[in-house]
């Protein structure tokens, strides 16, 4: 009877050329060290022209992508790994594309019966051709104020602005378009902001305890996310049991709607009446010292390094089974 082959080095992929490069590098270093602490053989690599050569030089590598934004979450990197027949932690390319593009993901969530903000997705060309003032007036009439303006593709709240009055809408749109040609405008949802991580272990999708987010500035922007002391995190979140379960169900529901696997993190606003509203899902959650997923892992009683190792082993087992 042939023994199941074991995997080789774990290639932790981070960096890249997106606006979130620094955060990605910090995530990569933390996961790489956690895996080494588990006795695993780890190779750390940035994304560049020599990556394919590196992967082909290793025996039975397994990749752990930790790129945030850009090719790390839009399915591009996952497509390359699939072409190279290198197993990896995380979702398939098509699932990444569905969740990463907010203009695509939002309608899918709504059709699945999950609550989300009213929104409009607008390409930059429309503003040039139809007139910015007329479109902004229509946005205000349709969605009301305050509004949230963000790039359709991106993360870490880069290019995201809260707009309290019509006078601030133009600048917010310009900022969003600086990160991409498509912007999303959403109604602002008042409530408690939480993040719910979903992990797949032993064939089961598990929602970890919700992390409540209380930024000092009132807005969970890039500075609040990645500067120590700028945001207070409470885990488990101060939700009653009914609201906490509703958030867990929503996170798992979104994970399934997009067809994700291994891990994801849903960002949710809980209205004062306890009703959760879906904002977005991340397929490559941050793993830095201020990131939300590691806090949820600890609150759930899991060892972070062991969990990362299990995700790698799951990716390898999936690869061997499908071979």
Query: Mean of the pLDDT values across residues 143-171?
Result: 84
Is residue 282 among the annotated active site residues?
yes
Catalytic residue among 14, 99, 156, 314: 156
| Confidence band of 238 (pLDDT split at 50, 70, 90) | very high
Is residue 99 among the annotated active site residues?
no
Is residue 220 among the annotated active site residues?
no
Q: pLDDT of 76-105, one tens digit each?
A: 999 999 999 999 999 999 999 999 888 889
pLDDT of 155 reads 60
Which structural domains are found in the chain, ordered by start? 10-95+305-322 (3.40.50.20), 119-187 (3.30.1490.20), 190-302 (3.30.470.20)
Query: Mean of the pLDDT values across residues 155-166?
Result: 80
Catalytic residue among 70, 226, 253, 305: 226
| Confidence band of 154 (pLDDT split at 50, 70, 90) | low
pLDDT of 5 reads 61
Contact 296/235 with Cβ under 8 angstroms? yes
Catalytic residue among 280, 291, 302, 305: 280
Is residue 69 among the annotated active site residues?
no
| Confidence band of 2 (pLDDT split at 50, 70, 90) | very low
Catalytic residue among 16, 265, 302, 305: 265
pLDDT of 305 reads 97
Q: Which long-range contacts (CB under 8 A, 24 or more apart) does 30-36 make?
A: 30/287, 30/288, 30/289, 30/294, 31/64, 31/66, 31/287, 31/308, 34/304, 34/305, 34/308, 35/10, 35/64, 35/305, 35/308, 35/309, 35/312
Q: pLDDT of 198-226, one tens digit each?
A: 999 988 999 999 999 998 877 776 667 66
């Amino acid at each position: 009877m042939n023994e199941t082959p074991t995997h080789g080095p774990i290639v932790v992929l981070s960096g890249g050329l997106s606006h979130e490069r620094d955060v990605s590098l910090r995530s990569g270093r933390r996961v790489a060290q956690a895996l080494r602490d588990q006795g695993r053989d780890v190779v750390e690599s940035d994304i560049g022209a020599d990556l394919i050569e590196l992967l082909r030089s290793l025996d039975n590598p397994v990749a752990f992508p930790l790129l945030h934004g850009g090719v790390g979450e839009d399915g591009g990197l996952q497509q390359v790994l699939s072409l190279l027949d290198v197993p990896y932690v995380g979702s398939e390319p098509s699932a990444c594309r569905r969740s990463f593009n907010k203009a695509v993901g939002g309608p899918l969530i709504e059709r699945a019966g999950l609550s989300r903000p009213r929104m409009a997705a607008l390409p930059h060309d429309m503003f040039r051709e139809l007139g910015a003032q007329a479109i902004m007036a229509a946005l205000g009439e349709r969605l009301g104020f305050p509004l949230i303006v963000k790039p359709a593709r991106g993360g870490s709240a880069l290019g995201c602005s809260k707009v309290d009055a019509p006078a601030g809408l133009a600048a917010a749109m310009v900022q969003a378009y600086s990160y991409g040609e498509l912007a999303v405008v959403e109604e602002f949802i008042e409530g408690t902001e939480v993040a719910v991580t979903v992990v797949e272990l032993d064939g089961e999708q598990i929602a970890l305890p919700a992390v409540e987010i209380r930024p000092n500035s009132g807005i969970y922007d890039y500075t609040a996310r990645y500067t120590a002391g700028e945001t207070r995190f409470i885990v488990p979140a101060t939700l009653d049991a009914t609201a906490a379960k509703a958030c867990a169900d929503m996170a798992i529901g979104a994970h399934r709607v997009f067809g994700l696997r291994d891990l994801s993190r849903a960002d949710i606003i809980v209205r004062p009446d306890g009703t959760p509203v879906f904002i977005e899902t991340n397929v490559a959650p941050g793993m830095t010292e201020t990131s939300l997923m590691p806090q949820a892992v600890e609150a759930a009683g899991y060892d972070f390094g062991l969990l990362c190792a299990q995700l790698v082993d799951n990716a390898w087992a999936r690869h061997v089974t499908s071979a």
